[in-house]
Structure 1
């Protein structure tokens, strides 16, 4: 269990932002643990016997791995009575590229972004670009002119002469 937790610590828990990156990291982790075959979209469990028991055990390990990769605030989005494949698809519908909630949340973060007076410009630009990249990752592109206006609006008063 310690080794599993140690590996999971390399993957940041999903906390409602940057689902695409979290999903990719989790997929790679499941592949490394030889658990991805119970999650991928074209997977079907065996019909019975010892192979089905092995599949179910693998499914439970994958389910636990995904569950441990979610922050407490997002555990309620998961119905742990379902298969890992169903849970993966459900998370993708809620937060993935088609999710309106993800678009709205990212836009809210982008438009509400404010740089503190004593913050580093590089850190602020990094957050700003990350939000733009996340939006682009879900096919929600921000026009350059709009991005410039949002960035300028996010600056503190000390930058008002820009």
Structure 2
């Protein structure tokens, strides 16, 4: 579900998709259109009074166009872009203790199922981390790294143990790099296995008579015809 905002495309926010990601993308769209000043609490000094009203109206329109109908109802009473922005944050980025607890429980309980693409898992993990941070919590680098490793299935036991050898602390970027390199290595290994399987299949085909050698053997085994002596 998408809408065109000027020449930029942004996913409609329907209350179910990631608000932090939508909010970040919406800011980029407004910036590219020269309307990001509308999200300031007061008019920037460099903006002329004659332009301010136009900027406000255009920014409010673009925000409304990027909202699904069921979400748009929540901001119909707001007349300014910053008012709409704050209202959406109150509803979908609440910093209440209840919301913070729920988000943190989701992050701590996240588990990667065997066979899941590691890129998809990293995306899900980073999305949850962003939601926790936006709700007002602080996550240290080592805590994020440990949570990511704890979310991995048993098939990652060997590379994780190898990474932890000799280390007393962890950095998130190092863990991410290890996982991506491991995924790349496994992908290359799978490709090599497929190539070996094709070679073995070809060899079996030749030995079963599908290749030239088998044809020659059948020719040799045919009885010779007696044409008599000349």
Q: Pick the TM interval, shorter chain.
A: 0.5 to 0.7
Separation of aligned partners in 2, 1:58 and 1:84: 9
The reply to whether residue 33 of structure 1 matches residue 33 of structure 2 is: yes
Q: Which residue of 2 aligns with 1:116?
A: 113
Bigger relative CO (Cα 8 Å, ≥ 6 apart):
1
TM-score, normalization by structure 1: 0.61
Q: What RMSD in Å do the two structures reach over aligned CA positions?
A: 3.9
Q: Which residue of 2 aligns with 1:12?
A: 11
Could you list the runs of 5+ residues in structure 2 that have no partner in the other structure?
Answer: 158-230
- Count of residue correspondences: 148
Contact 2:78 2:84 in 1 (8 A): no
CA offset at residue 3 of structure 1?
6.4
Q: 1:151 to 1:18 in 2, by over 3 A?
A: farther
Could you list the runs of 5+ residues in structure 1 that have no partner in the other structure?
Answer: 45-49
Q: What secondary structure is seen at the aligned counterpart in 2 of 1:41?
A: coil
Separation of aligned partners in 1, 2:133 and 2:78: 34
Mark the structure with the bigger radius of gyration: 2
Contact 2:41 2:82 in 1 (8 A): yes
Q: Which residue of 1 aligns with 2:73?
A: 76
Q: Deviations over 1:21-70 (max 9, x none)?
A: 433332232232232333321129xxxxx949x81x54332222112223
Q: Deviations over 1:103-149 (max 9, x none)?
A: 35533532443323331234323422332244235441346468736
Contact 1:111 1:150 in 2 (8 A): no
Separation of aligned partners in 2, 1:61 and 1:126: 32
Q: Which residue of 2 aligns with 1:47?
A: none
Q: What secondary structure is seen at the aligned counterpart in 2 of 1:123?
A: helix
Contact 1:38 1:85 in 2 (8 A): yes
- Map 1:37-116; keep pairs closer than 5 Å: 37-43=37-43, 51=50, 55=53, 57-96=54-93, 99-100=95-96, 103-104=100-101, 106-116=103-113
Q: What secondary structure is seen at the aligned counterpart in 2 of 1:42?
A: coil
TM-score, normalization by structure 2: 0.47
